Amino acid sequence: MLIAGNWKMNLTPKEGVQLAEGLLAALPKEGATEVVVCPSFVSLVPIWASIASSRISLGAQDVFWEERGAFTGEISVEMLRSVGCSYCIIGHSERRGRLGKSEYPRSRLAYFSDSDEVVRLKLQSALAGGLTPILCVGETLDERDAGETHSVIEAQLNASAHGVDAPESPLYIAYEPVWAIGTGSVCDAEEASRVSLHIADVMRTYAPNADVRLLYGGSVNAENAAGLLSKAGINGALVGGASLKAKDFAAIVTAAEAIGE
């Protein structure tokens, strides 16, 4: 099992270090569950300083695909690795401009414009550079209501992960229904399991040499985690809001640990 916390654009470096320390205090020193925190770029260095010798791994929320050069504002795989990152979230729906909360002005969504092609480039550079990717896929509410969940996800996987050959790294794919992200409406556990098993199936065709593992993301919390994590095909969770509280995130890890045994 892997439990990853996506802190999104929350917490200053100082607040992040406090949270990381709270998490270290709340978690058993060792365990079979892989625990990852993904703070903002500016917090990576100080947080790595406090978790480097612990069981918690560090992840970034995004990465750029070129190695170096005139790409103002971007951050490379090598830069992330050099500050302790071993994981990277790629193609999160928020980076794709597919936001779960409908009140955000539509006219501004174009600024979050990761296309499937961009997601593919990021995924390939992460794998080539030794960062374990957490690739996010998922449907919006409209797509779901139109019965397009499978076709949308298949198209995302086809465009960004078809042919991925990654013998040295697992490839985590997070099924994150957009309508469940940050909304409190968690996906029904049976449905999350069904879609996860379908993703695993599709990936066996698209990338038979990849070591694919499935996460669920979208309103996971301390109460619903065990129900989701115990379902077939779900190997962990990508947690947003609930990862900002040490006690809640630790409870999710504990739930994973109990199921993993």
Span interacting with ligand PGA, options 55-63, 73-81, 141-149, 232-240, rule CB under 6 A: 232-240
Q: From the DSSP assignment, how many helices (H) and strands (E) are in the chain? A: 9, 8
* One residue of 125, 219, 224, 235 binding ligand PGA per CB under 6 A: 219
* One residue of 17, 166, 195, 238 binding ligand PGA per CB under 6 A: 238
Instruction: Check: CB of residue 36 under 8 Å from CB of residue 71.
Output: no
Span interacting with ligand PGA, options 54-62, 68-76, 125-133, 218-226, rule CB under 6 A: 218-226
71 or 104: whose CB is closer to ligand PGA?
A: 104
218 or 233: whose CB is closer to ligand PGA?
A: 218
Task: Please state, in angstroms and rounded to a whole number, the distance separating the CA atoms of residues 64 and 242.
Answer: 27
Tell me if residue 189 falls in helix, strand or coil: helix
- Dihedrals φ, ψ of 149, to 5°? -50, -55
196 binds ligand PGA (CB under 6 A): no
* One residue of 240, 246, 249, 256 binding ligand PGA per CB under 6 A: 240
Burial of 28 (0-12, 13-18, 19+ CB in 10 A): exposed
Q: Which H or E run contains 216?
A: strand 211-217
Span interacting with ligand PGA, options 80-88, 125-133, 214-222, 252-260, rule CB under 6 A: 214-222
Amino acid at 76: S
Q: Which residues bind ligand PGA (CB under 6 A)?
A: 6, 176, 181-182, 217-220, 238-242
For the annotated catalytic residues, the residue numbers are: 92, 176
